[in-house]
Structure formats: C-alpha cells, structure tokens
A and B are shown apart, each in its own frame.
Chain A
Amino acid sequence: MIRKRLIVLFLTPAALLYGVFFLLPTLFTFYFSLFDWSGFGEEMTFIGLKNYERLFSDRVFWLSFRNTLTLLFVGGFFIMGLAFLYTILINSGIWGKKFFRLVFFLPNIISVVALSAMWAYIYNPRYGALNTLLKSLGLEELGSTLWTAPENIFWAMLAALVWVFTGFFLILLMAGVDKIPPDMYEAADLAGANLWQKFRYITVPMTWDVMTISFVIWIINAIKMFEFPFAFGLLQVPQQLYTLGIYLYVMGFGKREPIYQLGYATAIGVVMLVIAFVMIVLVRRLMRRDILEY
C-alpha cells in the first residue's frame, strides 16, 4: 500500500535506457531483416522475406549454422560432463576446495582477446607449447600438427572454449551440490549405496534445477558465441570458425565488397533469436519437474 509516484520515478531511467538501446533494437532487427540494405545512409528496399530465402541456399550460412550447433552440442557435452566430473572430484573431501574453485573460474575473468593470444601461442606449430611438449614426449608426427590450419582450427578453438566454460559451470554446479544436505548421503551410506548410486539417485535429482539453468545459460551463450572464435581467427577469420554471430558481423560490417548486406545480416540475427527461443523452450519442457522441497 505504501507506493506511489516513486514507482514511476524509480523505474523510468532504467526503462528508458533499456528500452531505447536494447528493446528497440530488438524490434528493429525484425524490421530490418525484411529489407535489402547496402549500408548506412543508403536506401533501404523492401523485399519481404527474400533475405530468409537467400539464407536457405547460402552455403556459408549453413556452415555457420552447423558450427554453432556443433559448439552447442559437442561443446556443451564436454563442458557439462567435465564440470560435473570435477564437481564430484573437488567435492569428494579433498583439501583445497575453495582454491580449486577459484582457479577453475579464472579463465572467465580474463579478456577473451588475452586468452586467444595465449592459445595462439600454445597452438603455434613451430614453437608453441603444445607441439613442444608432444615432441619432447617423442610424438614427432603429432607434434608437427598445424593446429591452426583451416581443417583443425575449429576443434582447436573448441578445446580452448571448453577449458574456459567448464570453470564457469563448475561454479554453478558446485553451488547446487553444496545445497544438498549431507544427511542424504549418510542415509545412502547406511543403505549401502556406492558412489555411482549416490550420484544417480541423490546428486542428479537434487541438482536438477541448477542443471536446467546451466543448460539454458549454455544454450544462450553458444548461440551468440562471437568473441571467442573471432579473436581466435585474428585478422581474417576463416570460414571454418564462423558461427552465426560471426557471420552476422561479417555480412553487416566485415565485407566491403561487393556491398554491405545489412538487411541480410539482421535476418541472421532473427534466426539466432528463434533458435535460442526454441531450444530454451525445449530444454525447459524436457527438464520440467515438480520443485523439490527439502
């Protein structure tokens, strides 16, 4: 009962900034995607859904799409798997839990550009750390691989990406696992459960909510993935590294010839949003379940 004009006053600045610089652009995206637009200051020609038709037969688009999905599923698989594995390992009573948690999260606070510089060096075929190590172990042939060659670069980038994001999701999962009352594990011990059973019947159900949120966050991040692969590709990002986000940028700002394709680029953006939306709804539906009270 105790609110009044304060509400409007308190909400307006945020709403204004958010509306103008975030929501409005979102709406514009849908609008722009219906046009053929060759650059700022140029004329926009309405072409309806033609951009989307073009996308359909665009080889590069499908490549980006495939890359994004690979990132989402393959990357997601490894990230979640490793995050879970390490959550269990770190939580198994070894000393230094907080320290490990800190270090795992560390890559997430370091600038992507810095990280890619680091990995560029690691992957350098001649004097990079990886090949040097492999060669010193006697694996000459493996140690001469051109990790950053077009056919390998996507997977090289993916490995680095997994390294970064595992830490992030480790934090989330650990927080969820921490909330599980130890009594449950002790009761399971008394009933004679082994490690796998405890994991399957206690840990997994009790962290279901955290898992759902993690999946959603990962989906969003995977679909909008831009910074990491872009930095990895340096000056001229090879097409093998294209994600939807990068392709959008390239179409909108990157290519100078024949002309900018702003309408086309925003169409890609719309596709991104739709995919994200569909996947999130799917995941939430699949993972839906009554809230556990404990």
Chain B
Amino acid sequence: MSAAADTLTTSPTSSLRIDGVDKHFGDYHALCDLHIDVADGEFLVLVGPSGCGKSTLMRCIAGLESIDSGRILIGGQDVTRTRPSERGVAMVFQSYALYPHMTVGENIGFGMKIAKAPKAEIRAAVQGAAELLKIDHLLDRKPKALSGGQRQRVAIGRAIVHEPEIFLFDEPLSNLDAALRVEMRVELARLHGTIGNTMVYVTHDQVEAMTMASRIVVMNAGRIEQIGAPLELFNNPVNRFVAGFIGQPTTNFVSASVSREAGRVLLALPGGKPFAAPVPDEDTIAETRTDIGVRPQFFELAEADTADVIVTVDVVEQLGDETLIYTRLDDGQSITVQASGQHPIRHGDKLGVNLLKDKIMVFDADGRNLCHRTA
C-alpha cells in the first residue's frame, strides 16, 4: 500500500491509470509499485530530485520502457503491451528532439508520413498545429535556424498533430534561460486551457510544479511520497521529504527538546519558550527530542523580551519586497526567516522571532508529519 493517499476517487473514465507499476534496471529498483489515477484534462506534474524515477515513469507511460509488473491504462484501455505510437500519447522532450535534417513542416508531419496518411491530410494537420502555435511562418525553416522558444513550439506542434489522449512533457523548460522559462510556463498553461487534454509533466523545479499543476506527484527513490493539489502539499505535507521539497526557500528543520508537564507535551527550541505541540495525538511524539519543521514564511519578527526565541543573524538578503534573514540558534542550528517588507537588520544582530504555532510541523523518527491532516 503506497504511503500516499490518492485524493481523488477512482473514476471509471480516468484518462491515465498507473496500476501497481514496478520496474527494475538490473538490480536497481527504479519504480516501486506505483498507483496513480489521472482524471481527464488534468495537468499532473511529476516532481522530485534527480534519480527519483519521474523520467523513467514517463518513459514507461510512453512505452519507451517496458514495465516488470502492473498495468498502464490510457483512456480506459490497457496499453501495457501496446507499441508507443499506438498508445495515444505524444511527448515533448527536454531537448525537443527535432529532426535536424528536416524542415519544421516535415518535423511536425513526420509521424503522419510514417503512418502513410494522404499528403493533403498531412498538410492540413501541420498547418492547423502551426497556426495554433503561431509558427506557421516558420514551416520551411530547419531547426537550427530557430530560437529555443520556437523550437519548443515545433516540438509541441509535432505532439499536437498526433491528436493524442495524453501529452507528456519531459522537463521541457530546463534548456531555456530564466526569462524565457517564465514566458513559456505561461504559454503552456494557456495551451492546456485551449486544448484541454490531459497533460503529464516532469520537472525537478518545484516552482514549475507549484505554478502549473492541478495536482503534483512528489517522487523519491522510485516511490510516491504524496499526491495532491499544490497548496495541499504546501500546507499539509505528509512527511519531511515533501515538506523539504516543496516551497521556496526550503522549510527549516530544527531539533527541538520535548518536555512533558501536567499532562501536556511541550516543545522548545534552544533558548526559546516552550509551546504546546500542535499534534492531534500527543502520544506519537518522541521522548526527549524531536524534529520540527517551520517554513521561513511562518515566522514573525518580535520584540526580544516577548519573542518565542532569540536568534543571531548571519546574513541578510534585502530583496526590496521581502527580506531573507539567515540566522542561527543558540546551539548552532540554522534558521531562515522570510519577512515581508524591508528591515534594517545586520550581521551579528540578535533578533527575536515568533513561530506561528498552527503552521508548525512535527516529525517522528521515520520522518512522518505528525501534524498531517487526512481529508
């Protein structure tokens, strides 16, 4: 049973279904018994660190890799044994994979040519896709004469012409520079709005995941850590990994001391005031020490005498609309604080901060978030 609870009920018309998929590369266990259900029209993002298996999973969906056990269903059909070109998927690759010796028009129409479609049909389809993506003036050019953004559009055009059930995107924005990336992100979201197909998107960038996804699948070492809407993952991570992966700047993880007084369990940061542990079941907390997680956004600057804890400032980054303060606790543990607005703080200052208690996460020894609220 996977650790992640699927937050949507299994729909009989689910667009894509990963059912118990398992894959090994020799001794290496790449994908471990995965279950995902994708509704029609969703924008699903697979996110995780390098090597977590997201690209492998995508290649399995496409049929470029075989799976050892389990099933893959697209549009209700079992495609586990079907050839890639017959699964109803189309893929946009990280480096776009445009055929360099063919023109844009030939690139887009290549699949239809292999399928021996009549020339008129091919021309019409290519024209339609090109117009949609505003590249119809480029049809006679070769890929090397195009900019990065244009190439990506050609790659998308090639995918559209297949008229697939599902679009697969394999880190399509990684090769673009920062400014172009933001622009293309918006474009892709717009595209999704226009054509409405299910899209499965792989990225290692959690910002892309957060901004584009209807649901995010966080993967780690071949397993699914959590599936859910972006805000759900942000507010209610199921474990330490998800808490640390989602959100920028990263969640602070600190070791806090545990004390039990008068039937209540209290936690305290080094040199700070004790506070009640915001967990549903207090018995789950460890005996003397436990790890807690606090997002940098969930601190408040306070006066030294009323603050929950005093920290020493290391580095301050003034960004204009917000200030990033890198600080240290009394025992040397570091805490990043994100405060909105501008603050005249400098290296070496002693700063008082309050924690927003309802936003604290408490983790057990296995990394599970004890404050996680199941729906």
Query: What is the interface of chain A, defined by CB distance below 8 A to chain B?
Result: 1-2
Contacts and interface: CB of A to CB of B under 8 A. Distances in A.
4 contacts: A1-B64, A1-B65, A1-B66, A2-B64
A63 B366 CA distance: 79
Interface string B56-75: 00000000111000000000
A16 to B, nearest CB: 31
Contacts of A1: 64-66
Contacts, number: 4
A236 to B, nearest CB: 55
Contacts of A2: 64
Interface string B37-80: 00000000000000000000000000011100000000000000
Nearest to B66: A1
Interface of B: 64-66
A36 B66 CA distance: 59
A1 B62 CA distance: 13
Contacts of B65: 1
Nearest to B59: A1
Contacts of B66: 1
Contacts of B64: 1-2
Nearest to A2: B64
A9 to B, nearest CB: 20
B48 to A, nearest CB: 23
A1 B68 CA distance: 13
A2 B65 CA distance: 9
A1 B66 CA distance: 8
A-B interface, 4 closest residue pairs, ranked by CB to CB distance from nearest: A1-B66, A1-B65, A1-B64, A2-B64
A2 B59 CA distance: 13
B360 to A, nearest CB: 46
A129 B207 CA distance: 77
A157 B66 CA distance: 63
A6 to B, nearest CB: 15
A2 B84 CA distance: 11
A1 B64 CA distance: 8
B157 to A, nearest CB: 25
A59 B66 CA distance: 67
A2 B66 CA distance: 10
B189 to A, nearest CB: 33
Nearest to B65: A1
A246 to B, nearest CB: 48
B200 to A, nearest CB: 21
A122 B64 CA distance: 65
B349 to A, nearest CB: 41
A81 B65 CA distance: 53
A144 B65 CA distance: 77
Nearest to B84: A2
B336 to A, nearest CB: 35
A1 B65 CA distance: 7
B77 to A, nearest CB: 21
B175 to A, nearest CB: 23
A59 to B, nearest CB: 60
A6 B78 CA distance: 28
A2 B83 CA distance: 11
A229 to B, nearest CB: 46
B57 to A, nearest CB: 16
B93 to A, nearest CB: 16
A1 B23 CA distance: 14
